[in-house]
Structure 1
Amino acid sequence: MIKSDFHVHTSFSTDSDTPAREQIEALINKGITEICITDHHDIGYTAIEKADVNTSESTNTNIESRPFRINPFAYYEAILGLIPEYSDRARISIGVELGLRTDYHHSIEDFAEVCAWDFIIGSTHVVNGLDPYYPQYWEGKSKQQGIMEYYEATLANIRKLDCFDVYGHIDYIVRYAPNQRENYSILDYKDIIDEILKLLIQNGKGIECNTAGFKYGLGVPNPENYVLKRYHELGGEILTIGSDGHKPEHTAYAFDKVPAILESCGIRYYTVFHDRKPIMLPL
């Protein structure tokens, strides 16, 4: 059984309303004993709220925008204060999910140093100023163009920034692509995926097996099995497991599927981080 969830969001994240205590309690009740809270900090990102983000409705109508950032000191102290309360039931670690962008690289690198984080996920959420979550990202481009632009931005982020431990949901783009995995094959992007994985390995970085892909109806984790296997084949060893859960019911989501997936990829260990240092655990 997987005993760690290293991608968990709470009400410190703009897109979650769940207090950290509720997330921790839910995870402990599911048998998770290593928990890392990793709330969002995306410098330069704005969450756009409207009636239906799944339509092509213009973003000039009925919009309320909110920054996607946390106060690192308030956040750190709040999670730190919970650690003693649960010390007899689980190890609580303090992490952050940093939205990586080359145009804000100095500010992002500075943020990574402001607190003694246990773990940092680096993720690509924005490409050319837009999150693929919003339909506006896809306007005027083919599905293939939109996906390739995302992977190109991911590669550029890895080349520019070194302030993270694991790259998050490498194929995040598929969650929000038109019709998701329909008419999509990871093999169409295998060359750039190899570039991404080789650079991560060269830089001593890991990837994650993010089970939210099952929640979003993809039928696979993010990234999908091919990428997990390829990372291992290329010599990658650091792999965390995270639910990307924003609600209690989504924590440790589909973790029962993970051991068989990883074993089929030749992976026998997964990773947790303490004080930014990787620790390998057997499946």
Structure 2
Amino acid sequence: MIDSHVHTEFSEDSQMKVQHALERSKKNNIGLTFTEHLDLKFSEGTDITFDIDKYFNDYEQYKKSNIMLGIEVGMQQNCFKDNRNIVQKYPFDYVIGSIHVAKGEDIYYPKFYEGKTKKEAFESYFSSMVDCVKQYDFIDSLGHIDYISRYGTYQDNEIHYHEFTEYINGVIKAVLHSGKVMEINTRRLGSKEAYINLTNIYKAYNQMGGKYVTIGSDAHHAEDIGNNFKEAIKICETCNLKPVYFNKRKMEYMSI
């Protein structure tokens, strides 16, 4: 098993020490791909980045068959070339492409949802996702399709497939057309409702031709590494999907 989405202290929003991550990995017999945050021109022109040279210099010693060094790229159209140049410059094992910003607005903060109906906010999010997946041809996997469900300010923040069918299908088509895969992000899979809704999305992914998924906890604390992986594997079995990970940018099958 490989947890393909882990943030250590190189990420601005994490204080996890690499040694704690490695201890958790060994204890639970689970491999890791570190995926530190890169969000250029994040909000009002600011950057969320890290010292990539130091990242490789410090962590190269830990690399082995089940410990890999990746990156999570915040996708926006206005920094496509900068993101591409960084990914091409460094020997990342794996590149996640994620949407944290929609139409220039940070999805994390309540301000994004002010004055918007759920339909308007979620459609803005999905529209940005489709545009970026089509453009970002250098990513390996689309991260956490349900990211907006973490932070929405509505009574019901869930992404119901029947509610956003056209937009979700548009995302899936863009992923498949680009030859990329989707991530099953396990952070919210402890919720029965989230599990059901995500299962419906990945059923559609498979029905439209999707075969492979990465699995990632999005852990920012060592104790969260590998969380809800049993539920992710159930989704794979239900939706006839093969869990994979990336090593040196090449897809490998995961043993489960």
- Normalising by structure 2, what TM-score? 0.92
CA 1:97–1:182: 2 relative to 1, 3 Å: closer
Using the TM superposition, give the Cα deviation of residue 261 of structure 1 relative to its aligned residue in structure 2, in angstroms: 2.2
Q: What is residue 251 of structure 2 aligned with on the other side? A: 278
CA 1:74–1:228: 2 relative to 1, 3 Å: same
Preserved CA contact (<8 Å) 1:214 1:254: yes
Q: What is residue 174 of structure 2 aligned with on the other side? A: 199
Q: String of CA shifts for 1:23-79, please: whole Å, max 9, x gaps.
A: 1211221120x21000100001259xxxxxxxxxxxxxxxxxx84211211112222
How far apart, CA to CA, are the structure 2 residues paired with 1:27 and 1:190?
37
Q: Determine which structure has more spread, i.e. the larger CA radius of gyration.
A: 1
Preserved CA contact (<8 Å) 1:210 1:222: no
CA 1:20–1:223: 2 relative to 1, 3 Å: farther
Q: What is residue 77 of structure 1 aligned with on the other side? A: 57
How far apart, CA to CA, are the structure 2 residues paired with 1:218 and 1:133?
23
Query: What pairs up with 1:55-66 in 2 under 5 angstroms?
Result: none
Preserved CA contact (<8 Å) 2:34 2:69: yes
Q: What is residue 232 of structure 1 aligned with on the other side? A: 206
How far apart, CA to CA, are the structure 1 residues paired with 2:154 and 2:223?
25
Using the TM superposition, give the Cα deviation of residue 115 of structure 1 relative to its aligned residue in structure 2, in angstroms: 0.7
Preserved CA contact (<8 Å) 2:160 2:197: no
How far apart, CA to CA, are the structure 1 residues paired with 2:114 and 2:81?
30
Return 5+ residue gaps in structure 2 as ranges: none
How far apart, CA to CA, are the structure 1 residues paired with 2:196 and 2:92?
24
How far apart, CA to CA, are the structure 1 residues paired with 2:7 and 2:217?
9
Q: String of CA shifts for 1:132-175, please: whole Å, max 9, x gaps.
A: 11001011111110011000000010122212000000121111
CA 1:222–1:91: 2 relative to 1, 3 Å: farther
Q: String of CA shifts for 1:241-272, please: whole Å, max 9, x gaps.
A: 110000011111111222222211122x2101
Preserved CA contact (<8 Å) 1:7 1:245: yes
| 1:37 counterpart (19, 34, 39) | 34
Q: What is residue 111 of structure 1 aligned with on the other side? A: 86
Please tell me the root mean square deviation across aligned C-alpha atoms, in Å. Answer: 2.2
CA 1:183–1:108: 2 relative to 1, 3 Å: closer
Amino acid aligned to 1:140:
G
CA 1:219–1:10: 2 relative to 1, 3 Å: farther
List 4+ stretches of structure 1 deviating above 3 A. Answer: 179-184
Return 5+ residue gaps in structure 1 as ranges: 48-65
Amino acid aligned to 1:36:
T
- Normalising by structure 1, what TM-score? 0.84
How far apart, CA to CA, are the structure 2 residues paired with 1:71 and 1:94?
14
How far apart, CA to CA, are the structure 2 residues paired with 1:222 and 1:104?
35
How far apart, CA to CA, are the structure 2 residues paired with 1:120 and 1:183?
26
Using the TM superposition, give the Cα deviation of residue 282 of structure 1 relative to its aligned residue in structure 2, in angstroms: 4.9
How far apart, CA to CA, are the structure 2 residues paired with 1:92 and 1:182?
34
Q: What is residue 60 of structure 1 aligned with on the other side? A: none
Preserved CA contact (<8 Å) 1:211 1:255: yes
Amino acid aligned to 2:27:
N
Preserved CA contact (<8 Å) 2:113 2:121: yes
Q: What is residue 259 of structure 1 aligned with on the other side? A: 233
Using the TM superposition, give the Cα deviation of residue 15 of structure 1 relative to its aligned residue in structure 2, in angstroms: 0.5
Q: What is residue 51 of structure 1 aligned with on the other side? A: none
Query: What pairs up with 1:11-160 in 2 under 5 angstroms?
Result: 11-32=9-30, 34-45=31-42, 67-83=47-63, 87=64, 91-160=66-135
Using the TM superposition, give the Cα deviation of residue 230 of structure 1 relative to its aligned residue in structure 2, in angstroms: 1.2
Using the TM superposition, give the Cα deviation of residue 93 of structure 1 relative to its aligned residue in structure 2, in angstroms: 0.5
How far apart, CA to CA, are the structure 2 residues paired with 1:282 and 1:232?
20
